[in-house]
């Protein structure tokens, strides 16, 4: 039995996006462990496809020194009261100017469960159309990249973002997605 | 052009594993942005396979309240002077008691490049044999899980860890890996 009990947490810094600190736990055998933790509000990612393209973006990722990271459309869960699906619908419009007739949750996962509680909800969006009402985020430096699906392996080779790799490998590994 | 210049960083907390703070950047159009950042030493993950099994683990992940997270063997780059490949070889012994005759780097990626520089090096390990010299980590609550490869979809359904999902989907999507 590995069920553990949370004894408490010491918050060391509370930012606008993340909080960081140390959590303390006790196991049934009375062992106590302390772990550094980063609290994060969570995020959504969207595998947006039509027959010809998977819709990707290139954007700067300052934290890793990358000026044009190839990624799926995505965004943080930073709007009060918004569900993951609602956030995904909003981000698809803001980032690539599309809406989708079909939405399906493919997976939810933790980006790095050893130290962070960031959870990503990954959706498949298909039956795409232009979203005339979409308002691009001010100040975001996002390039829309319609990537030909017959060159999917090249996208997997270029991509260095975990959530986007999961989406691209999901597409590669699931022939059924090819037909929608 | 999205090339940006790092102006400086304010470190807010420096833990044993992570450091956290705010970095400041300037773009060529003179726009300045500040981003919260978590520095992390990086990690390795291992897709360890033989003809019958993909070798997985179950372990507690206190940060996400999970007592038995299904994951590939993995570990942090926390040994001074050790390369990612050396770390992967060490972790394969410590976590599942195996050594591998073949090592191949499949990919390197960032777990969450919006706020963290954690980079994961993912290796394929095959031609496995028991490692009699391997010393299991003291105090780690790791269960070894030989997962039948003909039930790979069940592992993908259960797994909620990004690096492990990338490995499992890689295996599913690459028939060539089936033959080693």
Give me the phi and psi of B39, to 5 degrees please: -85, 135
Tokens of A54: 């998977």
What is each CA distance from A18 to A36, A76, A117, B39, B114, in whole angstroms? 13, 11, 10, 13, 11
3-state class of B148 per DSSP? strand
Helix (H, G, I), strand (E, B) or coil at B109: strand
Q: What is the pLDDT of residue B33?
A: 96
| pLDDT of amino acid B140 | 75
Between CA A119 and CA A79 the distance in angstroms is 15
CB-nearest partner of B38 from A18, A141, A160? A18
Residues, chain A: 180
Q: Nearest chain B Cα to A121, which residue? A: B160
A79 touches chain B (CB under 8 A): no
Query: Where are the domains positioned within chain A?
Result: 5-39, 43-179
Is B5 an active-site residue? no
Name which of A179, A178, A147, A176 is nearest A164 in CA terms: A147
The residue in chain B having the minimum alpha-carbon distance to the alpha carbon of residue A60 is B2
Alpha-carbon distance of B72 to A131, in angstroms, equals 40
| DSSP collapsed to 3 states, chain A | CCCCEEEEEEEEEECCCCEEEEEEEECCCCCEEEEEEEECCCEEEEEEECCCEEEEEEEEEHHHCEEEEEECCEEECCCCCCCHHHHHHHHHHHHHCEEEEEEEEEEEEECCCCCECCEEEEEEEEEEEECCCCCCCCCCCCEEEEEEHHHHHHHHHHCCEHHHHHHHHHHHHCHHHHHC
Using a CB-CB distance cutoff of 8 angstroms, which residues of chain A are in contact with residue B173?
Answer: 169, 172-173
| B56 to chain A, closest Cα gap in Å | 16
Q: What is the pLDDT of residues A79-117, one digit of tens each?
A: 999 999 999 999 999 999 999 999 999 999 999 999 999
Do the Cβ atoms of A2 and B163 come within 8 Å? no
Nearest CA in chain B to A174: B173
Could you say which DSSP state residue B49 is in?
B
Residue stretches of chain A with pLDDT short of 50 = 179-180
Q: Which of B17, B44, B111, B160 to mutate to test the interface with A (most CBs of A within 10 A)?
A: B111
Six token digits for residue B113:
């490049």
ipTM of the complex: 0.95
Mean pLDDT of chain A: 94
Residue B18: name the closest of B138, B117, B137 by CA.
B117
In a mutational test of the B interface, the residue from A29, A68, A110, A159 whose CB has the highest number of chain B CBs within 10 Å is A110
- Give A160's contacts in chain B (Cβ within 8 Å): 108-110, 113
pLDDT value at residue A131: 85
Region A43-179: CATH code = 3.90.79.10
Q: What is the dihedral of CA B79, B83, B85, B86, to 10 degrees?
A: -50
Q: Would you state the pLDDT for residue B179?
A: 44
First to last CA, chain A: 44
**B18 φ, ψ to 5°?**
-115, 155
| pTM, entire model | 0.96
CA B152 to centroid of chain Cα atoms: 19
Instruction: Tell me, yes or no, if A163 comes closer than 8 A to chain B by beta carbon.
Output: yes
Sign of CA dihedral B47, B48, B52, B58: negative
Give me the residue label for tokens 């020194």.
A65
Q: What is the pLDDT along chain B (180 residues), one digit of tens a residue?
A: 579 999 999 999 999 999 999 999 999 999 999 999 999 999 999 999 999 999 999 999 999 999 999 999 999 998 999 999 999 999 999 999 999 999 999 999 999 999 999 999 999 999 999 987 777 766 679 999 999 999 999 999 999 999 999 999 999 998 566 544
Q: What is the pLDDT of residue A132?
A: 79
Contacts of A109 in chain B (CB under 8 A): 159-162, 165
């Amino acid at each position: 039995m590995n069920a553990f009990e949370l004894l408490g947490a010491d918050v060391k810094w509370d930012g606008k996006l993340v909080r960081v600190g140390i959590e303390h736990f006790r196991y049934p055998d009375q062992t106590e462990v302390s772990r550094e933790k980063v609290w994060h509000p969570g995020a959504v990612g969207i595998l947006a496809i039509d027959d010809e393209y998977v819709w990707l973006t290139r954007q700067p990722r300052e934290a890793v020194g990358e000026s044009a990271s190839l990624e799926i459309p995505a965004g943080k869960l930073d709007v009060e009261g918004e569900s993951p699906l609602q956030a995904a619908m909003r981000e698809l419009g803001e980032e690539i100017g599309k809406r989708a007739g079909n939405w399906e949750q493919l997976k939810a996962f933790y980006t790095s469960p050893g130290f962070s509680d960031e959870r990503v909800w990954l959706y498949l969006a298909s039956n795409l159309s232009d979203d005339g009402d979409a308002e691009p985020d001010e100040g975001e430096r996002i390039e829309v990249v319609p990537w030909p699906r017959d060159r999917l392996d090249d996208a997997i080779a270029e991509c260095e973002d975990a959530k986007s790799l999961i989406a691209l490998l999901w597409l590669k590994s699931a022939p059924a997605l090819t037909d929608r």
